[in-house]
Copies of this chain bind each other. A is one copy, B any other.
Amino acid sequence: MYKIAVVPGDGIGQEVIAEGVKVLNALEETADVSFSLDYLDIGSERYLRTGELLTENDIDDLRKHDAIYFGAIGDPRVAPGILEKGILISMRTTFDQYVNTRPSKAWHPYTPLKEEKDFDIIFLRENTEDFYMGAGSRFSNGKGVSLDLKRKLYDAKITVSMEANTDDEFAFEIGMMSRKGIERFADYCFKTAKDLGKDKVTAVDKANVCTSLYGMWREIFKQKSQEYGIALEHMYVDAMAMALVRAPERFGVVACPNMFGDILTDIGAEIMGGLGVAASGNISPSGVSMFEPVHGSAPDIAGQGKANPIAAILAAKLMIDNLGRRDLGILIEKAVRKAMDNKDLTADMGGHLSTKQTGDAIAKYISIV
């Protein structure tokens, strides 16, 4: 019995998570597994009502579960950054979900690439450091600025101050990584490569420009590559973005710093078939992990039964894999493939079904694949 915290969130998050839950129920009927689901009300509605983002109470609740199954957050009435930082990024750091895993495998014929190659990439994105630390500010009138960074991981207090002898206005953002943070992430990457029988890890950076930040990243990846006896390939982020479109079949495990991972995994999503099929796991190797579709709350189509539930259903697959039941994960993936083959799909993938009908079809296939 797995205890799952369900956070449908905003907009189409509600609709697609309902279909993911349908598939979990179908698994309970077919296999020796059971889930107990607790629904939590976290998202923009509550924020607009009460001003609360991720509260201490939420955190205590979430901590009691084996995993978090998350829909989406986002609302046009809320300024950019508030929900993202206050809920999503806050969850990643609070639970120390320091690896973001996003598989990208070709779902033919839905890939937009001319040559329908087979590829199967596991993107691993460092999920707590780099440019996601919220270490930015603005200053003007020759005043300068000072800010404190406190980060759980290394229990360090870092104070930054800037002095400027000018009246001009400046804005800045600091990207920072710790040796410990990169080491534990690199360990996870090489272990994953070993587990999956991949013969190399591709590590992405921009060490020719951000020489300090990504110089340390390179150093540590080199050390770990030797330790694990697994080959290492360095790629600059710009070249990697191209290569993913040109020759995705060249890659297996791809390790990315946080910001570049954000961008590259969206390319990974696109080349496999788009946001409709892209799922994400925020992994805390020794704590509570969170699983979500990559797409957002899509307020423009919310409530219309148009949303594609496959990404949320594949997020449930990632969750079950991660809970140790890869056998059941395979079932879900097969059921999704069958829905594609039978065109039991929403309009964005060329089908004629509603969100619910698509979920019904996939849930039904669980027992027959």
- A residues near B (Cβ < 8 Å) are 80-81, 84-85, 89, 111-115, 131-132, 134, 136-138, 140, 154-166, 168-180, 206-218, 237-239, 241-242, 245-246, 259-260, 262-267, 269-271, 274-275
Partner of A242, one of B157, B161, B162, B267: B267
Across the interface, do B164 and A162 meet the contact criterion of CB distance under 8 Å? no
Of all chain B residues, which has the CB nearest A171?
Answer: B216
Cross-chain pairs A/B with CB under 8 angstroms, 15 sampled: A81-B211, A111-B114, A112-B246, A132-B209, A157-B164, A158-B162, A161-B161, A168-B180, A171-B217, A174-B175, A237-B262, A241-B241, A241-B264, A245-B245, A267-B267
Contacts of A206 in B (CB 8 A): 131, 259, 262
Contacts of A160 in B (CB 8 A): 160-162
Across the interface, do A165 and B157 meet the contact criterion of CB distance under 8 Å? yes
Partner of A177, one of B111, B115, B165, B170: B170
> Provided the pairs A154-B166, A157-B165 are in contact, do residues A175 and B176 lie with their beta carbons within 8 angstroms?
no
Contacts of A132 in B (CB 8 A): 209
> Provided the pairs A154-B166, A156-B165, A169-B178 are in contact, do residues A137 and B212 lie with their beta carbons within 8 angstroms?
yes
The oligomer's copy count stands at: 2
- CA–CA, A260 to B241, complex, Å? 11
- CA–CA, A178 to B168, complex, Å? 7
Across the interface, do B274 and A246 meet the contact criterion of CB distance under 8 Å? yes
Nearest-neighbour CB distance to chain B for A157, whole angstroms, equals 5
Listed residue (A81, A84, A264) with the most chain B CB atoms within 10 angstroms of its CB = A81
- CA–CA, A245 to B271, complex, Å? 8
Listed residue (A136, A164, A215, A239) with the most chain B CB atoms within 10 angstroms of its CB = A136
Contacts of A137 in B (CB 8 A): 212
- CA–CA, A180 to B168, complex, Å? 8
Across the interface, do B173 and A210 meet the contact criterion of CB distance under 8 Å? yes
Across the interface, do A210 and B136 meet the contact criterion of CB distance under 8 Å? yes
- CA–CA, A206 to B172, complex, Å? 13
Nearest-neighbour CB distance to chain B for A195, whole angstroms, equals 27
Across the interface, do B259 and A213 meet the contact criterion of CB distance under 8 Å? no
> Provided the pairs A175-B131, A207-B80, A208-B84 are in contact, do residues A241 and B213 lie with their beta carbons within 8 angstroms?
no
Other than A80-B211, A242-B270, A267-B267, give 20 A-B pairs with Cβ distance below 8 A: A81-B207, A84-B208, A85-B211, A112-B115, A136-B211, A156-B166, A157-B166, A158-B163, A169-B179, A171-B176, A171-B177, A171-B212, A171-B213, A172-B213, A173-B212, A238-B265, A239-B266, A241-B241, A241-B264, A245-B271
